[in-house]
Amino acid sequence: MLRIGITGQQGFVGTHLYNTLGLHPEEFERIDFQKNFFENKTHLDAFVSRCDVIVHLAAMNRHHDPEVIYTTNVGLVNTLIASLERTGSKAHVILSSSSQEKLNNLYGKSKKEGRELLVLWATNANSTFTGMVIPNVFGPFGHPNYNSVIATFSHQIARGETPKIQVDGDLKLIYVGELVNEILNKIRERQNESVYLVSHTSEAKVSELLALLQGYKMGYQDKGEIPVIKNTFELNLFNTFRCYMDIVNHFPVKLVEHTDPRGSFVEVIRLGTGGQVSFSTTVPGITRGNHYHTRKIERFAVIKGKALIQLRRIGTGEVLNFYLDGNEPAYVDMPIWYTHNIKNIGDEVLYTNFWINEFYDPNDPDTYFENVQ
């Protein structure tokens, strides 16, 4: 079993990498890292000594003074190298650099110099180093005005703001989940590569991204309609947008019930994509679920009985509670990387419709069990 440590563990890519490593407990042990380790030699050395692989993600992306970015990023690499040398570590070090290496800015310069410093360390220490040069990364939970234009646009649009395009450039993109898979491949290969150019998986103009995200706001957030999803990129972009919505105040969404002397009719979902619809009954006191997905779109619609739907983002402790009553049919959608369940809290049988955007595949279920509480 490989022991993996991640500097920048609580950052955007670090969080996704840490959580994904947790899906492979038979293969990887996660060694926790705290930001203040860089300010404490004892703590940093203890961390480094425990790691077979160190993925160095800690870096500053933005600051009003580019010199601060440069000195911070190079300083972090030098601090890590000093610890590697003090401990005599032979860890495989993987660095996340940037495609901005080739640009004439201090951020790109800091990433390139950091990579070159670690190449030199690995040569002198007879150890292994992989320098990953990465295109623009997007995905859920990135920080607006910091990690990516997609994070910024999604945050603004979900809150009813109108983003402004500064430069309508053509962006080469990779989804954070795809990048994490690239990192896992490099961990498993354990080979020296001073420069590994990570290929982008999609490409789009800023205006095209903005149009797609605004479409998700108008169709999905405002009307509850699942959009047409043409490819993996659009699925990843839609799942990214969903994570910037204020789900606490958005859900549950009440469905429109039409009644006449025959009974009632409720439209549960309008969709531009396929998938699987299921129906269940749940007896009082029973809880279903306690699992999460990393790519699937899922909707729970309560049409009869009383239910408590609970969600908790993986890696956090806050539990979100949604109470639904079939007397006012409503639904809650499950964001990716949120473990969720549904419990019958009434005195009668609970009737629930479930929709998910892809058929169940036992060889690739994208279903990971973890209790909400």
Residues 190 and 316 in one domain: no
Give the count of domains, the chain.
Answer: 2
Using one digit for the tens of pLDDT, what is the confidence trace for 139-150? 999 999 999 999
Using the predicted structure, report yes or no on whether residue 274 has a pLDDT greater than 90: no
Position 76 scores a pLDDT of: 98
Residues 289 and 181 in one domain: no
Position 225 scores a pLDDT of: 94
Residues 92 and 174 in one domain: yes
Residues 317 and 197 in one domain: no
235 in a structural domain? no
Residues 99 and 15 in one domain: yes
Task: Read off the CATH number of the domain in which 334 is found.
Answer: 2.60.120.10
153 in a structural domain? no
pLDDT band with cut points at 50, 70 and 90 for residue 334: very high
Position 242 scores a pLDDT of: 98
Residues 119 and 26 in one domain: yes
Percent of the chain, pLDDT > 70?
100
156 in a structural domain? no
Residues 195 and 267 in one domain: no
Residues 20 and 101 in one domain: yes
Residues 98 and 32 in one domain: yes
Percent of the chain, pLDDT > 90?
91
65 in a structural domain? yes
Compute the mean pLDDT over every residue in the chain, rounded to the nearest whole number.
96
170 in a structural domain? yes
Using one digit for the tens of pLDDT, what is the confidence trace for 227-256? 999 999 999 999 999 999 999 999 999 998
105 in a structural domain? yes
pLDDT band with cut points at 50, 70 and 90 for residue 271: confident
Position 24 scores a pLDDT of: 97
pLDDT band with cut points at 50, 70 and 90 for residue 336: very high
Written in H, E and C, the secondary structure of the chain is CEEEEEECCCCHHHHHHHHHHCCCCCCEEEECCCHHHHHCHHHHHHHHHHCCEEEECCCCCCCCCHHHHHHHHHHHHHHHHHHHHHHCCCCEEEEEEEHHHHCCCHHHHHHHHHHHHHHHHHHHHCCCEEEEEECEEECCCCCCCCCCHHHHHHHHHHCCCCCCCCCCCEEEEEEHHHHHHHHHHHHHHCCCEEEEECCCCEEEEHHHHHHHHHHHHHHHHHHCCECCCCCHHHHHHHHHHHCCCCHHHHCCEECCEEEECCEEEECCCCECCCCEEEEEEECCCCEEEEEECCCCCEEEEEEECEEEEEEEECCCCCCEEEEEECCECEEEEECCCEEEEEEECCCCCEEEEEEECCCCCCCCCCCEECCCC
pLDDT band with cut points at 50, 70 and 90 for residue 22: very high
Position 273 scores a pLDDT of: 82
Using one digit for the tens of pLDDT, what is the confidence trace for 29-45? 999 999 999 999 999 99
122 in a structural domain? yes
Residues 303 and 193 in one domain: no
Identify the domain containing residue 357 by its residue range. 247-369
Residues 83 and 169 in one domain: yes
Residues 48 and 194 in one domain: yes
Position 262 scores a pLDDT of: 81
Position 257 scores a pLDDT of: 84
224 in a structural domain? no
Position 270 scores a pLDDT of: 86
Position 272 scores a pLDDT of: 85
Using the predicted structure, report yes or no on whether residue 264 has a pLDDT greater than 80: no
Position 261 scores a pLDDT of: 86
Position 104 scores a pLDDT of: 83
